[in-house]
Amino acid sequence: MESLIERVKKEAGIEVYFPAQGRSDLNDWHNPHNDDSNYVRAVHNLRNPLCNSYPTFGLHSEPKEADSGSDFVSYGALSYKKTIKKEVPCFEKVSQKKPGLLGLLGMIETRTKKIIETVDETVTVNLLVKDYVLSDCSEKAYFVRMTLNAKVEDKFGRVASDYPALTVVGTKNLVDEIVSCLKSNPLNYLSFIRALVPVDKFPNVNNGIFEKAKPGKDIVFISDDKSRTKISL
């Protein structure tokens, strides 16, 4: 596991996200425009925080099950759907009078005419690792998002309904290896997450969030096709 942790730190981008209003004291990554409403708590090796992509990629759209006692690991490709205009050839039948005497007699001929129509087509846009990670890697980007079973209050004393979460962005090979490792070593789930965001570099996240995290009763793995695997602890 140690070699995998070092590989993640070197090759991947990492983000800690937690929606709790007015808790800038949890931030080790600061938004100069409005840090009080900044829910990105830590960033490592990313060009831009992934929170800007949640509405598109659904990284923060897992069920709000903060009272379930489970941890959730969602993973898949960083891609999105968009509609484009596409020109396609079509053929239509055109009827007209035959030339000459036959036409004067009212005889009709039918021929096929080729036309071009514009239609809407939905396509999948795959993003690359270098689009998000400080890397020149041109492979397709994949993510794995790991929640923490931690109850942390906002500035009004309310416990947030969403879990804190750590997201890793990297290649498919790396993400698959992380998921496989967590499935094989579920008892090391929290220690794996903490090792990716060490306390000496990210003290606010560790002291304000990670220290309150407790092992869940199980870990639910959710792939991007929405299939689920549950491993009890």
Task: Give φ, ψ of 140 to 5 degrees.
Answer: -60, 140
Determine the average pLDDT of the residues in 97-108: 68
Cα distance between residue 228 and residue 187, in whole Å:
19
CA 103, 106, 112, 118 dihedral sign is: positive
Select from 126, 119, 163 the least CA-distant residue to 17: 163
Say yes or no to pLDDT of 105 above 70: no
Give the pLDDT of residue 61: 45
**Half-sphere exposure for 149 (CA within 13 Å, toward CB):** 16
The fraction of the chain above a pLDDT of 90, given in percent, is 39
- Confidence label for 203 from pLDDT (cuts 50, 70 and 90): very high
Number of structural domains the chain divides into: 2
Mean pLDDT of the chain: 83
Do residues 116 and 90 make contact, with C-beta atoms less than 8 angstroms apart?
A: yes
Say yes or no to pLDDT of 67 above 60: no
User: 20 and 114 share a domain?
Assistant: no
Given 96, 123, 150, the domain boundary residue is 123
Given 123, 154, 189, the domain boundary residue is 123
> What's the domain range around 175?
2-78+127-232
User: 103 and 215 share a domain?
Assistant: no
Say yes or no to pLDDT of 56 above 80: no
Count other C-beta atoms under 10 Å from residue 228's C-beta.
Answer: 10
User: 145 and 224 share a domain?
Assistant: yes
User: 72 and 101 share a domain?
Assistant: no
User: 45 and 65 share a domain?
Assistant: yes
Give the pLDDT of residue 55: 34
pLDDT tens-digit series, residues 159-181: 776 788 999 999 999 999 999 99
Select from 139, 133, 130, 137 the least CA-distant residue to 44: 133
User: 153 and 222 share a domain?
Assistant: yes
- Confidence label for 57 from pLDDT (cuts 50, 70 and 90): very low
Give the pLDDT of residue 54: 39
